[in-house]
Amino acid sequence: MTTLTTPSPSATAHRDSGGPRLLSWLLRLHRPALWAWTALVLVLGAGLLWLWGPLTDAAAAAWRQYNACDMRPRCAYDQPAILLYKDVEHYITLAVTAVPFLVAAWAGAALFGRELESGTAQLAWAQSLSPTRWLTAKLAFPAVLVTAGTGLLVCLYHLAWSAGRGRIDTARSWYDSLVLHTNGPTTVAFALTGLAAGALAGVLCRRTFPALALALGLTAVVRAVAHLAMPHLWPSVTHTVDRSEGPVVLGLEADSGLVTSTGAHVPVPRCDAMDPGGCSAAYDRLGAVGYYTEYHPFSHYWPLQLTTTALVLVLAGLFALGAFWVLRRTTGTARAAAKAGAV
């Protein structure tokens, strides 16, 4: 015979409590992560403000001094300002690029994997929360913080980059592989993908380190796929030049190759770059008369950003739906087994 237990009044009250009680529980449980995230956003934000104002102004003035030297052998200019700007910009760009991966690692390891491994999640399900509500709360509140923090960093980065555009001779182009994403909303979408990937990895692995590794892997794959797909998500512009001029870089490249005498576009054949004669002979055999480049000018920046962001958010949504599906399947199976054992 099995004994049916009645939930205590305190447990029932806790189960029926609303959003404020749940929010308080999340804040207590993940207070160290919240402080760490706040500190990260503040430090990077301060660095971007420094880059946006004093560093850009000092480096721009130094570049004006350098360009005014006009190849004179001895000419004074503020080289340390140029080097400091370059170093700070480089490390901040890497840090903002790494934010989605930090979110993925935390979500997979601490937010989901560790709680499922230690039994904290199962205790919450038994006392106060259904698995679905637990996962919803775990995703919704961090998603707001991740969106706000990453969005602020992206806005500040865009301001800092725009301040140096046309003033800093060595400033990165808008289509640089890192700037292309840290400069726009795709980084926010990557961060949300990291959160959703962490949820899926956590409910799949139910262990801290495997979930961390899987979340990082999924986020890296999404970023790589988005970067490769971006040039093909919006119609490009085709530019052709004579063979004697050589290929040119005009923007974000979608495709390039040779133009034959018939007007056909063919790939550049493999040849030894150290042997110009060998390459020339290969081009002659193809009847090449010029080069073509399919590219995106700067005016395509926002259409590319928005279409890529939409694609990444769809993938993030699929990860989140996958996490709910896996959790429902696993908890449903466990509950069915528990009921069968009780009978």
pLDDT in the model for residue 39: 97
- How far apart CA 188 and CA 148 sit, in angstroms, is 9
Nearest by Cα to 56 from 99, 89, 23, 98: 89
Nearest by Cα to 258 from 268, 244, 248: 268
pLDDT in the model for residue 20: 64
- How far apart CA 337 and CA 160 sit, in angstroms, is 57
Full-model pTM: 0.87
The burial of 56, by beta-carbon neighbours within 10 Å (0-12 exposed, 13-18 middle, 19 or more buried), is given as buried
- How far apart CA 273 and CA 189 sit, in angstroms, is 40
pLDDT in the model for residue 2: 38
Q: What is the dihedral of CA 292, 293, 298, 301, to 10 degrees?
A: 140
- For the chain, domain boundaries: 21-233+301-342, 237-299
pLDDT in the model for residue 7: 42
User: How high is the mean pLDDT in each 10-residue block of the chain (343 residues)?
Assistant: 39 47 68 91 97 96 90 82 96 97 95 89 81 90 95 97 93 94 96 97 94 97 97 95 86 94 89 71 88 95 97 97 94 51 43
pLDDT in the model for residue 4: 38
| DSSP code at position 273 | T
Answer for the pair 85, 58: CB distance below 8 angstroms, yes or no. yes
